[in-house]
Structure 1
Amino acid sequence: SFVFAAVWPCAFSVTRYSITEEMERGSVVANLAADLGLDLNSLQDREVKLDIFTNKRYLDFNKKTGELYIVENIDREYLCPAKPTSCFLKLDVVIENPLRIFNIELGITDINDNAPHFRRDKVELDVSESAAPGERFSLPNAVDPDVGINTIKTYKLSASKHFTIEIQTGSDRTQYVDLVLTKSLDREETAAHHLILTAVDGGVPVRSGTAIIVVRVQDTNDNPPRFDNQIYTINMTENTPIGTAVTRLNATDLDEGLNAEIVYSFTLYTSEKTQDVFALNSNTGDITVKGMIDYEDMKMYEMHIEARDKGTHPLLGSCKVVVYVTDVNDNYPEITIQSVKNTVPENIPVGSVVALVETSDRDIGENGKVSISIHHAMPFILKKSSDKPEQYELIVSEALDREKVPEFEIRLIVTDSGTPPLSDNETITVRLLDVNDNAPKFPKSTYTIRVMENNAPGSLLESLSAFDPDLHENQYLVYVIIEKEIANTSVSMLFSINPEDGKLYALKTFDYEIEKEFLFHIEARDSGSPPLSSNVSVHIIIVDQNDNAPVIVSPWRAHGSVVEEKIPRSTDKGSLVAKVIALDTDSVHNSRITYQFLQVTDATLFSLDQYNGEIRTMRMFSYRDPRHQRLVVVAKDNGEPALSATVTIKLSTEETAVKAYSDMTEVPLEYDIFSDLNLYLVIGLGSVSFLLLITILVTIVLKCQKAKPSKAAPPSRNSVISERNSTIADSTLVSNDAYWYSLFLAETRKGKLVVRQPVPKGSRYIVSSIPRGTGLTDTSDSAASTLQ
């Protein structure tokens, strides 16, 4: 119905109309000209305007018909978003000339043109599976822009055995929906619940809107980890390499998140020894070998393992892993030395026990059967002990000698019966203690030592070193000279020996011309108990030095060094003028004398035999030859350097007829027997005759006690005979008698005389001269007799 109100100038009145949202475009709302009393003809020339107080032009006025019609669909929810009970569209109709304004209100009636809808078409809720039944969870409300009966009337929930809804109405009549838990949740059974919440309005036809409700069940740690098996049995061989995988454990947990994350660990029931051999990965459950698996140490390993989740209140599960170890021949047999004598005396009795050893092998069966042998250990043997089958005695099997083998390295070898066999060895060192069973030994049985005469007192002669193979005090040697007398003199007065090092010294100066050799013994004695000793012969030979110059004993030089002789000028060629005899108390080599002219008046007149010293005429004297001849003869020995002596002979020739020297043997000896020279000789001979007789007797006695000497050669012209060795030499010979004498040949013009005269101390010669001629004369016989 239309309510008409005429609006006059300056008069305010409102004309109200009612329309519905469902009216379409072009629909006539009202006939304003009829309702407002307007003349249609007058409206043609007048301007009519609509003033609508919205941002849209919903209505328009037709001047021809005077009708108000709809030009745009009217949306009540748009015009009145606050959902008031009444919703009006206000506009002013302005007609000019004259001006007239009409206020018009259109009351818009709601229709159910909007379905309820939720601001979110999907709602997600997290609900712990530990939530108790009756627990409520707020759900978002649906909205419906319609009002009145067309708005939301109720909510509906899809079928669920765990949830329902409850609708609460607020003071503003707004409905609120709660999701109520009716049955306990189990995440492991249903991890998420998908529900549909439907909002239904009261319009006709009924409209509705839905929202999906996803209830995610939040896990609680209500499930413990569980292993696939409660007991795992594994077989492994010993000595499995480190790092080898044993097994992988698998525990599962029906929970999720941290409640399902599992950590593996050994429990307290797992021994530390087992944990030293096996490693457990806490994250993966892998068991690997980390130590040496030894059958002989452990034949079976038990690992108690738990799987624990990471929940706030963690739950756990457990299992047992049993590892059985299989034996292999991995253990070397062993030798245990239970007792040993590392030092034994070298005279230890045969059969004595030196060591006690025991064998063992940690393996079993054939791998543990052990045999023992001895390697390069003569003279020791092994004997099985009667007390224990694995025990052996090391026994001395033969006599020991430290000087041959001072130490034994006894190598014992043990071998098992495994495949392949294993073996080991042990070395026992046995050192022999010395026993004084060896006497000192000299490298020589006799030491022959040559000592040059005129040695300095205290000079070292020789180092005598004995050897004793023993040790320590049994080896410490003391050297002593075995006391004896040599020529009425104690040997300790002549020689000395250092008792520690065996150095032999001379205590005096030796003279070859007095002492030629010494023979004694030296003893070396060790310091053992009892001490042992041995001795060695020492033969000291004095070596001659050329320390004595030749002494000219003929011709006699009683008055100075010049000898004067007279010879007839009628002397034949080859006649003996003079004979120079020199004596040297040195040894044979150094005493060999040669003669030479040092000066001669006429070299064509005289000759000198260099070996026997005879001066002979080389021709007869002539009237041109000087009456006086001067001859200087030098006698030189064979030493190095050579020593010499000289004699000067002055020869005077006279016309008196004198018999040749060849006839001198027929001249009676009495002619010059009492000349001055002969007188001196006879007096000297008488004074020593008694001593000479005693000496000859002692010499004969000593000769008889020794081996018979070889027969002496018959005396010959100008020969010298040795009493000691019967050696015939020309003119001069060395003799070794204890007392020495010399026979000097005194030459005169009338003949020769053999005499005896004691020689100064140090002389060791006996000289004899036999007269010339083929037969022995009374004089020569007398000389030979005197010599003997």
Structure 2
Amino acid sequence: MGIRHHRCGQCLLCWAPLWQLFIFALLISNVIGQIRYSIPEEMKKGSLVGNIAHDLGLDIKRLKSGKARIYTGEGTEYIELSKEKGLLVIKERIDRETLCGQTTPCALDFQIILENPMQFYSITVEITDINDNSPGFKNNEMKFEISETVQIGSKFVLEKAVDIDVGINGLQGYSLSSSDTFTLNPYRIGSSRNVEMVLKKALDREKQERLSLVLTATDGGDPQLSGTMQIVITVLDANDNAPVCTQAEYRTNVKENSLKGTALTTVSASDADEGRHGHIEYTITNEGATELFHVDKENGVVTLMGNLDYEKFRHYEIDVQASDEGGNSDVCKVIIEVLDTNDNPPAINIMSASSRISEDVKPGTVLAMMNIQDPDSNDNGKVHCILDENVYFKITSTSNNFFTLVTDSELDRERSSEYNITVTCSDEGVPSLSSSVTLTLQISDVNDNAPVFERSSYEAYIVENNTPGLSIFTVKARDADWNQNARVSYILEDSSVNGVPVSSYVSVSADSGVIHAVRSFDYEQIKDFHFRVKAQDGGSPPLSSNVTVKILIQDQNDNPPQVLYPVQTGGSVVAEMVPRSADVGYLVTKVVAVDVDSGQNAWLSYKLQKATDRALFEVGLQNGEIRTIRQVTDKDTVKQRLTVIVEDNGQPSRSATVIVNVAVADSFPEVLSEFTDFPHDKEYNDNLTFYLVLALAVVSFLFITCLVVIISVKIYRWRQSRILYHSNLPVIPYYPPRYSDTLGTGTLQHVYNYEVCRTTDSRKSDCKFGGAGSQNVLIMDPSSTGTMQFPLPENTDPGPERQPPSGPVPSPDWRLCGG
């Protein structure tokens, strides 16, 4: 590749190696992470600027993973970064004159930004000038009218050529076409002198009225470029004195915010001629200067005509030409210094910023990098930045005009999930100017909160006999985290109730926390149980908490009363004996019943539903005692049949009935004769006659035997009672089991004493023992052919086969007392 002049197209470095192209360009300096390159202007698109990866000591993978990019802050990006090769290459053709004008050196400043972690490097690329512009004049022709009386050595100011190149490529000198009348004054680039044409020989209008010369301006490039202008001179008569400026230079200062029309300075010149030849007019000769400045052609007052900007141009030099009517002139140089005012607020440029961070980041984490630009000078351009009232972040200055926003303390998304961070940057001018920018930062969640139940423990009630699957109640836990970390699942912890897994009793809905009954509960089997429910969030790892739940089973009236006494049997007739001599209130027997329900469902009441003679007996409403309500007479029927109904207090109530047979008689033969006619169960009706005959025979036999036994027992009892009476030993009554309320709410709240008699009249016995509810009980068993069964004597050991039963139902063979 080669470099071609943009006009002639000739190759300057044809077939030269790539490194020879930049032998003068690649000057790299490593000063605190800053690299400097130097390249010529007008390089083709894609041309190499430098190997940034090598020069920064970075790996190509780091450029890719860090999403390396160029940050310019403003303006067009002329250079781009090839991350695949780690090279800086030309993106757009660079014209140094368009970019920097006459300013030298001309450089592009930008930064290379890397992320994860955030880094940046400052890069400076100096654009060197090439000779791509030739000197030129504003006008192709310049005319002079010169009096023939002008003195030798008179100076005529010529128009300056303009070459927008700089350095050696800029304007270097002028030459005038061969002439024996005029010559050029020596000219030095950068001096305050102008291009002057000097008369070296007196003019003679009569010999030569017009002169035509060519002024050539040349630069110092290789190849050298030039521009020409035609000078036409008309020789006039008289006016042989030129104007002369009073001062060679005029200096003035002006603030950049000065208004249009402001007077800057006044230039003046004098002309020794008189009349119209001495009349001087002032004009500005600089190209483009007339847009900003104006000079009054009569009095030389220089005024401001446009808006000044210190940040663009700080220094102006204008040429005010003083000319008389004869064409004689002098140039007065006016130097204007622009003074800065604080008219630019700081410009905040976000180089890189994070919009979302995790709540568990450590203090000092970089959130954003900013470049602050204030083109003002001195204190007007000094910038400091602060944050709004926010204790969680701070801003630090990393280098000149570069600031970093970092975390200053630990964050908590549950306290605040979003922050609007306002950065305000102010300069030190008077008055101070400021600008601000607001960064929105989202805080992402970390699973740092376990679910919390609304209560420390739960208690719920369910009525027994429920439908399986019934919803009992709901446990609720809340998690302060967000999204998946706050998604709570409910788990039934493994435990057992009475040796059975709790999962066979209840289940928990994982999503809603609703607790369902798995089975139908029976209050009589289980009254309460407890278990634990765990709430677990969806984080990784998950967090959890648990709570104790107690289920209380409520009773239903689902059990009818159960009659414990008298026992209803199908094979025998149980009768309670009432002597005819019984007084009013005589205790016949007691109906004993229980209800396995609880509370009011177990409150029992007793009512006489049906009786052979309602006027003779009554039943205690609360205790079930059957008593006589009048004196027994001889007219009363021996055979009395009572139907007692037992009801509980439930809603609706449940009941049970019991039939009580009562014999009103004073002797066993009378009872026997009457009770053989009692109806029996259906299974015995067919053989009634057979059983009666058989029973009569057996009873007759047993009667004789009993007489003998009774006499013997009487004697034995009398002797034993005497021994017992004198021994003063305590008598321990026997109470049938389960006659008391096992739940504390039963119906038997009194101690019932049943007499065991030593004489034929039980009411006259002087030693009473706990019995089964009646003074006299008669049992007739059809299967025993009418044989009567008597209780054992009160002091006689009945033997193992005749012991009272341990259950709630007394055995029939120990209920009859007789003398």
Q: Which has the larger radius of gyration?
A: 1
User: If each structure's strand is expressed as a fraction of its own residues, which one has the higher value?
Assistant: 1
